[in-house]
A and B are shown apart, each in its own frame.
Chain A
Amino acid sequence: MPEMSRYQVAKSTRASTIALLVLVVVIAILVAAPAFVSRSLLQDLFFVLTMVVLAQCWNLLAGYGGLVSIGQQAYVGLGAYAGFGFAILLGMNPLVAILAAGVIGALLSVPTAYIVFRLQGAYFAIGTWVAAEVYRLLFAQWKALGGGTGTSLPSEVARSVWGVGWVREVFDVKSSAARDIISYWVALLLAVIVIGAIYAFLRTRNGLALSAIRDNPDAAESIGVDTSRAKLAVYIFAATGAALAGALIYFQKASITPQSAFSVIDWTAFVLFIVVIGGIGTLEGPIIGALILFALQNWFADYGTWYLMALGALAIAVMLVAPKGIWGWVQARYDFSIFPTRRRLIGPDTPVPDYTQPVQEVKAPAPVGVSGAELPNEVTTMFDIETDVLIIGSGPAGGASAALLSSYGIPNIMIEKYGWLANTPRAHITNQRTMEVLRELGIEEEAKEKSVPQELMGNNVFCTSLAGEEIGRLLTWGNHPSRKADYDLASPCRICDIPQTLLEPIIVGKAMETGTVSRFKTEYVSHMQDADGVVATVRDRVADQTYRIRAKYMIGADGARSIITEQLGLPMQGEMGLEGSMNIEFTADLSKYVAHRPSVLYWIFQPGSNIGGIGAGVIRMVRPWNKWLSIYGYDVKDGPPNLTSQEAADIVRGLIGDQDVDVTVTKLSYWTVNNMVASNYSTGRVFCMGDAVHRHPPTNGLGSNTSIQDAYNLCWKLKLVLEGKADENLLDTYNEERQPVGRQIVTRANKSIQDYAPIFETLGLLQPGSPDDIKRRMDARKEPTVEADARRKALNKYFRHKSYEFNCHGVELGQRYASRAVVPDGTPEPEYTRDRELYYHATTWPGARIPHVWLDVDQEKVSTLDLVGRGRFVLLTGVSGAGWVEAAARASAETEVDVRAYQIGPGCEVNDTFGDWAMQSEVSDSGCVLVRPDGYVGWRAQSLSAEPTVDLTRVMQTILGRT
């Protein structure tokens, strides 16, 4: 996570100017040091300076370039050997030989890079090591320089160093001491040049790009930087630096062996420790680290192996405890930098910022009864009431099941533990597929009346507070013009926002109106199954009496804390209670902040709003623009905080950013993030659906939608089996078809949570700091710099990427089923030409939902979706499909299952006025599409077959599980 350099420069100008002055003074003192320090101290300083050079080079590689090498000893050794070679064999002056050695390092690093760059990450690391080994083994073959045993620098070479005479005179020392002084100066010069060059490089476009790659590869690409070239440049630079240092070090040592010159411990392990302990990704860190290593070496080196072990342990400890090292710690505390560039934050445990959570359960948990425990075996024949289907739970899943079964004329009883339906507006986004179900039930209009329409849903705002700065906005839920068409084309229904508190009464009302027997304040306790049915024990909580209901099938729609799934022992995969979050319902007139940008969700990024489960504050519209729900996190480890209304109102006012606004908190509830899906939805005669089997965060708004669609899939199958028209094995296809959807949405909802991480990261919200720090980091993107530009672009991209949560049309209605209740027509699955999550792909391929097109029946606009459903199979064919119509009648008679046929086209009962069906049906005029009661294509034929009745009957029998 990048710290914003630009900003820091601005903030720390005074501090860093002073620091720079100090730096100049320090360098001056260092240059003059030979005049007043002892020779041994000078040798120590030489050591420190060379280590600084190596550490800076490695830091550039790993800390900025992300190239973690453990093979830099290759270049130290190369430089050393090249230097010796030039000086001894070619008679070059050592000072020139050092430069030449640097050139050799640079030259050889290119082919080396060619090879090791083929490896990534950790394997790159070992690859560099292998390369170093190869160099070591090759130089051990160089007989002229002593082969495996190495060689010493002839004294005449040592003496030939330029300037020795002058130094002797000026400082009045022996020639060996004069050589030390010159080496020291060269080391100092090298250190200054290397640091200066890295500093300058990091501030160039390429350098900034490099930091950008490290922090965010996509953004770097988006500003058009060739990342591999920047990395190569860094690698060559680091190699050159190491080679120069190597040559210098070994001229000073005056003897060389392959083992020491290519030592991984001396030239890589120590260097790594220096950088990590000092602070990786900073220019200051390596300097501090070198000084610390030097101090440790001086005090403890006598302890030999123990010293090395302690050093290893120290580096491990620093990496684990303070991964930014000493300088990182200093920076975090004092926000100060001598060399202001951006810096690296290593491996932050990215807290997952999420949005409104998954399933919340606001009601108290029920006492759990043990399945069957209190029922003796023969008791399955003892009961008080009897019905066909017993539904447990009156949420979206249970309510929709009740309404659908009643609409099919199947007797059913629905029981609900509490006295009324949802008492807090959880689900709200109601997608097109769900609206289609409501349309079939005849309650679409009623739901629409109570809903907030699509047009008012989509200005998804990301801001610092409602009254504060808007960081970005995404047009959501199909409101972007380019997506509006996709949504409009896909369905006769519009997506809308209707709080669960308002939708449930509509669905349950319809259910009860059409026959469902509802028992409120009645709690499911346990059940038993036998070959013909289920006997459930339920408790009337008003009379505190237990009674038994016998049903042929039972639907477990008892929500996220399902005891039915538990009693059945359905295999659940995942975890519950991951993060804590609270809903604060309140009333306040916020029109002035929102009416000009109407939306259902407003995301608040502000200091403190990222604590706990949800990462950011959310203000969600319940009713425009005076009823609201705020979502705010708490640390799940501490348990729910039990706020007073006053405290809750303060949180809300903070999110609004206006202390004077009139806020009345009406309700407070706590809930947690869950991630769980059952790998099997049913056992015997009990079928579970809704949150009972898929529990996930509310991201994408898929929970209630999927629950209702689960019901739509199961209920017609139950109907046909209960009517004796389909085999019981048709019910197996419920699991085959819906479980993958459950898995898909649980995965999708979780991915959507993770997609917030880069936004928080790019805004600098993940790092701790005072409100000022955070504000400063958030403001960093406003600078006219390349880096800030990268940040802006990245942010833009991440916001757009949220379409996977907010415009995820393919996930909302694009599922295709594969099961025994879908009969293939032999054609391959049509390809997804666009992103399959974002876009719905219409097709009549068996297993897909029938595409929506507008048709005409008696001057009335009717959707394909209106022709199908209502518990019947429907066969759609064209003007030349009379053969199919007859076949449908016969197949109907044969199977006793209603197959209603429609010819579509001019002169037919249904007219294809717009010609869209012709374009979309994917079958010829004499072909047919057989649609199941849930609107999914069960089979299709390209053209009239030789024996349409035989074919259609066979297909129907297959779907009904009777073959």
Chain B
Amino acid sequence: MFVLDTLIQGILLGGLYALFATGLSLIFGIMRLVNLAHGDFMIVGAFAVLVLVEALGLPIVFAAALAGVAMFVLGYALQRLLLNRTLGNDILPPLLVTFGLSIILQNGMLETFSADTRRLNLGPLSEASIPLGGGLAAGVVPVLTFASAVLVILFLNWLFYRTETGRAFRATSDNPEIAQLMGIDNNRIFSLAMALALVVVAIAGLYLGARATFDPLIGPSRLIFAFEAVIIGGLGSFWGTLIGGIILGLAQTIGAQVSPEWQTLSGHVVFLIVLVLRPRGLFPRSVD
């Protein structure tokens, strides 16, 4: 029973990590950019929802939708105005610029919202759970999180493989120069991808805030989880990312059973083991 419960909690936690990771994976897949401010943007998303709910009194669903739109615009502008200028053969500029952004975001939020920990209140939903029989139960929010992760991945897969935009994404990711030759405006595609990624990030932020407390400075640690999920799953496949998230979630949940201090550490350890044994992740995509 106890084991089963741990497994369920771990898998559900994995859904959250998959949400964290999908945006990162999307961006890296398309433009080979690792956004070091990714975690901080999730926190920005969480705060955006919080502000809309608390200050404007909007229902959380509206608030989340609005935050999603805002993040879309933010992502587009960010890529168009700043990040596109950093792309190239040298990996340092994008790393440094997003690192700088991360610090700006953290301190900006610190200045605006103070270091207090916050939480998104989903009302009765927060505590609700679905009984699974045999004394087992799954929290509604974790289940919602997991379902959202699956939906997001389904959506992205549809977008990638069934639409014109997706075709352009894939073409650009395969070979930006050729894509350009084919009349694809890489800058626009990259901006669109970042916009999309930040919408996913907003969704991640929503659940991050709803599942646990957050403060302006926890972004980087969430970035690390996201990164681990991506690498464990293997670059290039969203489903791989989901599985990576689940493995990380399981590792952390099981680790936490041993000792609370071991929660994060055991996630890292599993990550390192995967890295040693399967450097390309568990489900690498050989051809895109």
Contacts and interface: CB of A to CB of B under 8 A. Distances in A.
Interface of A: 62, 68, 70, 114-115, 118-119, 121-123, 125-127, 129-131, 133-134, 137-138, 140-141, 148, 264-265, 269, 272-273, 276, 280, 304-306, 308-309, 311-313, 315-316, 319-320, 323, 346-347, 349-350, 572-575, 675-677, 746-747, 750, 754
B96 A137 contact: no
Contacts of B276: 114-115, 118
B103 A265 contact: yes
Given A125-B34, A319-B96, A575-B180, A347 B88 contact: yes
A574 B178 CA distance: 9
A750 B175 CA distance: 13
A347 B89 contact: yes
A319 B36 CA distance: 15
Contacts of B269: 134
Contact of B103 (A276, A312, A746): A312
Contacts of A68: 91-92, 95
A347 B90 contact: yes
A133 B268 contact: yes
Interface string B244-288: 000000000000000001001100110110011001000000000
A582 B37 CA distance: 46
Q: Which of A126, A133, A346, A676 has the most CB of B within 10 A?
A: A126
Contact of A675 (B102, B103, B181, B223): B181
Given A272-B99, A313-B100, A574-B182, A130 B107 contact: no
A573 B181 contact: yes
B99 A269 contact: yes
Nearest to B94: A122
A746 B181 CA distance: 9
Given A140-B261, A313-B100, A264 B89 contact: no
A574 B90 contact: no
Interface residues of B, number: 52
Q: Which of B91, B106, B231, B264 has the most CB of A within 10 A?
A: B91
Nearest to B88: A347
27 contacts: A70-B99, A118-B275, A122-B33, A122-B34, A125-B91, A127-B231, A130-B271, A130-B272, A133-B268, A269-B99, A276-B92, A306-B107, A309-B103, A309-B107, A312-B100, A312-B103, A312-B107, A313-B100, A316-B96, A319-B86, A319-B93, A320-B82, A320-B85, A575-B181, A675-B181, A746-B181, A750-B181
B93 A312 contact: no
Given A123-B34, A137-B264, A320-B93, A308 B182 contact: no
A735 B122 CA distance: 59
B268 A130 contact: yes
Given A118-B276, A264-B220, A347-B89, A316 B107 contact: no
Contacts of B33: 122
B59 interface: no
Nearest to A129: B224
Given A675-B181, A747-B181, A309 B104 contact: yes
Nearest to A280: B92
Interface in B67-95: 82, 85-86, 88-95
Contacts of A750: 177, 181
A523 to B, nearest CB: 28
Label chain A's interface by main secondary structure.
Answer: helix
A309 B108 contact: yes
A134 B92 contact: no
B97 A319 contact: yes
B185 to A, nearest CB: 10
Q: Which of B33, B178, B276 has the most CB of A within 10 A?
A: B178
Nearest to B108: A309
Given A130-B224, A305-B107, A677 B92 contact: no
Contact of A126 (B97, B111, B227): B227
Label chain B's interface by main secondary structure.
Answer: helix
B52 interface: no
A572 B101 CA distance: 39
B164 to A, nearest CB: 12
Given A148-B261, A313-B104, A323-B93, 18 more contacts: A115-B272, A118-B275, A119-B279, A121-B32, A122-B91, A125-B36, A133-B268, A269-B103, A280-B92, A305-B110, A305-B111, A308-B106, A315-B96, A316-B100, A319-B92, A347-B90, A746-B181, A750-B177
A346 B224 contact: no
B105 to A, nearest CB: 9
Contacts of A747: 178, 181
A792 B177 CA distance: 29
A308 B86 CA distance: 21
Nearest to A345: B90
B228 interface: yes
A269 B107 CA distance: 13
Contact of B107 (A126, A308, A574, A676): A308
A305 B108 contact: yes
B94 to A, nearest CB: 7
Nearest to B228: A130
A80 B161 CA distance: 51
Contacts of A140: 261
A617 B271 CA distance: 54
B183 interface: yes
Contacts of B91: 68, 121-122, 125
Nearest 10 CB-CB pairs, A to B? A347-B90, A122-B34, A305-B107, A573-B182, A312-B100, A312-B103, A118-B279, A316-B100, A312-B104, A573-B183
Contacts of A273: 100
Contact of A316 (B97, B181, B220, B231): B97
Interface string B24-41: 000010001110100000
Q: Which of B93, B101, B107 has the most CB of A within 10 A?
A: B107
A349 B103 contact: no
Interface in B204-221: 220-221
B97 A320 contact: yes
Contacts of B104: 308-309, 312-313
B111 A306 contact: yes
Contact of A677 (B28, B32, B181): B181
Interface string B168-206: 000000000110111100000000000000000000000
A352 B163 CA distance: 33
Contacts of B221: 133
B219 to A, nearest CB: 11
Contacts of A347: 88-90, 92-93
Nearest to A269: B103
Contact of B96 (A131, A138, A272): A272
Nearest to B90: A347
Contact of A133 (B102, B103, B224): B224
Contacts of A319: 86, 92-93, 96-97, 100
B96 A276 contact: yes
A320 B269 CA distance: 37
Contacts of B279: 118-119
Contacts of A315: 96, 99-100
Contact of A137 (B90, B181, B261): B261
Given A347-B90, A574-B183, A130 B227 contact: yes
A122 B181 contact: no
A126 B224 contact: yes
A61 B201 CA distance: 32
B267 to A, nearest CB: 10
A148 B106 CA distance: 23
A134 B183 CA distance: 46
A312 B101 contact: yes
Contacts of A575: 180-181, 183
Contacts of B106: 308
Contacts of B32: 121-122
A677 B101 CA distance: 40
A320 to B, nearest CB: 6
Contacts of A349: 88
Contacts of A746: 181
Q: Which of A312, A320, A350, A574 has the most CB of B within 10 A?
A: A312
